[in-house]
Amino acid sequence: MSVGLLLAAGSGSRLGTPKALVEFRGERLVDRGVRVLREGGCRSVIVVLGAAGTGVPGAVTVHNPEWASGMGSSLRTGLEAVPGTAAHVVIALVDQPFVGPWAVRRLIRAAGRGASVAVATYAGERRNPVLIAREHFAEVARLATGDAGARPFLRARAGLVVAVPCDDVADPADIDTPADLAALRARSGPAT
């Protein structure tokens, strides 16, 4: 069973507001992230919140009391909440509105073909989302510190990582500043 994990705890300090609450093309980023994970094949979705407490329809929310320490604590909090029946988790970030369900589907298909770690790539560069099998949760959590998230684990276990090209179905552009948000809002074409 695939579970989605949406990291949405930050305050959006450079943006001036928590990213989870930002509206993008008529939908809050947090709601969009849940929808994308579900449409991509995740049976359930866990959302890690921190700076902003909010209801999130269609998801289980968990609060990270240490959200200000960075993404690592949110990843650890989220992994602890994954049900024991889940074979793997697909980890996504709330601030990437052009990463859609097809990228998630490709990662889940890679797991179906035996990958225990799969990472979406764009022009050969590893980005998000990331799929990690349960057998690696403890090591991922141990290495997740500060703003690093899963990156230290992916570097330490590079031989396990299956690259999943997603250039044709997604774009990893993220929202960190008001200028980023304005640029992505101005893009033509559908957000996924």
* Residue pLDDT, tens place only, 72-90: 999 999 999 999 999 999 9
The stretch 138-146 carries a mean pLDDT of 96
Residue 107's pLDDT band (boundaries 50, 70, 90)? very high
Note whether residue 23 is domain-resident. Answer: yes
Note whether residue 192 is domain-resident. Answer: no
Note whether residue 189 is domain-resident. Answer: no
Note whether residue 122 is domain-resident. Answer: yes
Provide the domain limits for residue 99: 2-184
The stretch 151-177 carries a mean pLDDT of 96
Contact 104, 42 (CB under 8 A): yes
pLDDT, residue 191, reads 61
Angle among Cα 9, 13, 16 to the nearest 5 degrees reads: 105
CATH number of residue 146's parent domain: 3.90.550.10
Note whether residue 190 is domain-resident. Answer: no
Residue 192's pLDDT band (boundaries 50, 70, 90)? low
User: Residue 101's CB: how many other CB atoms inside 10 A?
Assistant: 18
Contact 50, 7 (CB under 8 A): no
Crossing angle of helices 101-112/29-39, nearest 10°? 40
pLDDT, residue 53, reads 85
The stretch 94-118 carries a mean pLDDT of 97
Note whether residue 86 is domain-resident. Answer: yes
The stretch 21-33 carries a mean pLDDT of 96
Q: β-strand 117-122 against 125-133: which pairing, if any? A: antiparallel
Note whether residue 191 is domain-resident. Answer: no
The total number of structural domains in the chain stands at 1
pLDDT digit string, tens, across residues 50-68? 999 889 999 999 999 999 9
The stretch 171-187 carries a mean pLDDT of 94
Cβ neighbours of residue 91 closer than 8 Å, sequence gap 6 or more:
5, 7, 75, 78, 128, 129, 130, 131, 132, 149, 150
- Predicted model pTM: 0.96
Percent of the chain predicted with pLDDT > 90 = 93
Kindly tell me if the per-residue pLDDT of 188 is higher than 90: no
